[in-house]
């Protein structure tokens, strides 16, 4: 699946990998540099938005024509996904899940699954197509979740939702009270310890949430690239690399689905925890 790159044998391995791992980054806000904060990764953004519209649009299209009678196979499939997500949320969150948390979980699961699935596209096919349209030096990273910006954006959004729901459920005073009085008790002597504890928790949640997904996807992509380099060593290497690539792809199906599931579960767990008071 990575044989297309065989013609570019003049590339050194590090150049090959660096090419595949660089973003289509362009400055915004009048900024012409491709570094710093005011830069947009067009590949990440466009791929994820198109995928999001595609998958959620598909589900919306089915949901719009959903009947309570005998469902079509299409509707049955969507309902299967719906029921799967709904069951998971039901087990964790015991409130009105239908108004926000369950639909959010569905969005996260489907969207992250779709973005992760871009890892199955042969890396060099993507590179070939992009260079066909955009020239030899055009860059396009097809897996949005191997961009730390995507995973961190999702994790931060969940983080803000978590704080929002926490304040909504307990009130601003209750939330601040909890920051200082949980988990060790309300004695003023342990306030600093409590606050430090909560601070670490609030920092570690979005970090572990986003870095877990990013790390898995980034590592998966790099392994595909390393396997792709076998194609530069000749025919036997190409065959060997293809077999290994197929094996890694099959194993990667598990990782892609599992990471999407874990990301969804953590989202639900964090939002559910925000509703509980200590």
Partner 1 sequence: MNINFTLIAQAIAFAVLIWFTVKFVWPPLLTAIEARQKEIADGLAAAQEGKSALEVAAKKSETTLNEAKQKATEIIGQAEKRAAQIIDEAKGNAKAEGDRIIAGAKAEIDQEVNRAKEGLRAQVSTLAVAGAEKILRKEIDAKAHSEMLAKLAAEL
**Interface pick for partner 1 out of 68, 73, 135, 254 (rule CB under 8 A):** 68
Site for partner 1 in 210-269 (CB under 8 A): none
Looking at the DSSP bridge assignments, the partners of residue 25 are 41
Residue number with CB closer to partner 1 (197 or 202): 202
Residue number with CB closer to partner 1 (36 or 135): 36
| Minimal distance, residue 149 CB to partner 1, in Å | 4
Residue number with CB closer to partner 1 (230 or 270): 270
Site for partner 1 in 121-150 (CB under 8 A): 144, 147-150
Residue 24 in the binding site for partner 1 (CB under 8 A): no
User: Using CA atoms, how far apart are residues 107 and 154, in angstroms rounded to an integer?
Assistant: 11
Residue 25 in the binding site for partner 1 (CB under 8 A): yes
**Interface pick for partner 1 out of 7, 13, 18, 49 (rule CB under 8 A):** 49
Q: In the numeric block, which tokens belong to residue 59?
A: 């589900």
Helix, strand or coil for residue 232? helix
Specify the stretch interacting with partner 1 by CB under 8 A; choose among 46-54, 135-143, 163-171, 224-232.
Answer: 46-54
- Render the burial of 130-146: b for 16+ CB within 10 Å, e for the rest: bbeeeeeeebbbbbbbb
**Interface pick for partner 1 out of 5, 6, 20, 48 (rule CB under 8 A):** 48
Cis peptide before 217 (omega within 30 of 0): no
User: Using CA atoms, how far apart are residues 278 and 259, in angstroms rounded to an integer?
Assistant: 30
Whether the CB-CB separation of 225 and 217 falls below 8 Å is answered with no
Q: Catalogue the active-site residues.
A: 208, 212, 216
User: Using CA atoms, how far apart are residues 245 and 31, in angstroms rounded to an integer?
Assistant: 39
User: Using CA atoms, how far apart are residues 60 and 107, in angstroms rounded to an integer?
Assistant: 11
Specify the stretch interacting with partner 1 by CB under 8 A; choose among 9-17, 79-87, 128-136, 248-256.
Answer: 79-87
Residue 17 in the binding site for partner 1 (CB under 8 A): no
User: Using CA atoms, how far apart are residues 161 and 19, in angstroms rounded to an integer?
Assistant: 36
**Interface pick for partner 1 out of 152, 224, 263, 270 (rule CB under 8 A):** 152
Looking at the DSSP bridge assignments, the partners of residue 27 are 39
Residue number with CB closer to partner 1 (25 or 179): 25
Whether the CB-CB separation of 118 and 277 falls below 8 Å is answered with no
Residue 83 in the binding site for partner 1 (CB under 8 A): yes
| Helices 101-117 & 191-228 angle (0-180, nearest 10) | 30
Binding residues vs partner 1 (CB under 8 A): 25, 28-29, 35-41, 44-45, 48-49, 52, 56, 59-60, 63-64, 66-69, 71, 75, 78-79, 82-83, 98-100, 102-104, 106-107, 111, 144, 147-150, 152-154, 156-157
């Amino acid at each position: 699946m990575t044989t297309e790159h065989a013609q570019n044998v003049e590339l050194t391995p590090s150049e090959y990998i660096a090419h595949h791992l660089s973003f289509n980054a362009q400055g915004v806000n009048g900024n012409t540099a491709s570094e710093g904060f005011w830069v947009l990764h067009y590949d990440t953004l466009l791929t994820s938005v198109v995928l999001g519209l595609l998958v959620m649009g598909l589900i919306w299209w089915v949901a719009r024509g959903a009947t309570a009678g005998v469902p079509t196979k299409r509707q049955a499939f969507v309902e299967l996904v719906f029921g799967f997500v709904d069951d998971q949320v039901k087990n964790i969150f015991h409130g009105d899940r239908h108004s926000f948390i369950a639909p959010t979980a569905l969005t996260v699961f489907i969207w992250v699954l779709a973005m992760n699935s871009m890892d199955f596209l042969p890396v060099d096919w993507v590179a070939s197509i992009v260079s066909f349209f955009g020239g030899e030096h055009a860059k396009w990273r097809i897996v949005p979740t191997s961009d730390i910006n995507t995973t961190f954006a999702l994790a931060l959004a969940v983080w803000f939702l978590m704080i929002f729901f926490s304040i909504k459920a307990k009130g601003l005073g209750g939330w601040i009270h909890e920051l200082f009085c949980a988990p060790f008790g309300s004695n003023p002597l342990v306030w600093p310890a409590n606050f430090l504890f909560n601070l670490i928790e609030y920092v570690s949640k979005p970090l572990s949430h986003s870095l877990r997904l990013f790390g898995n996807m980034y590592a998966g992509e790099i392994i595909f690239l390393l396997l792709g380099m076998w194609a530069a060593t000749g025919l036997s290497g190409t065959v060997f690399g293809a077999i290994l690539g197929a094996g890694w792809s099959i194993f990667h199906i598990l990782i892609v689905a599992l990471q999407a599931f874990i990301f969804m579960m953590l989202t639900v767990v964090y939002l559910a925890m925000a509703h509980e008071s200590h």
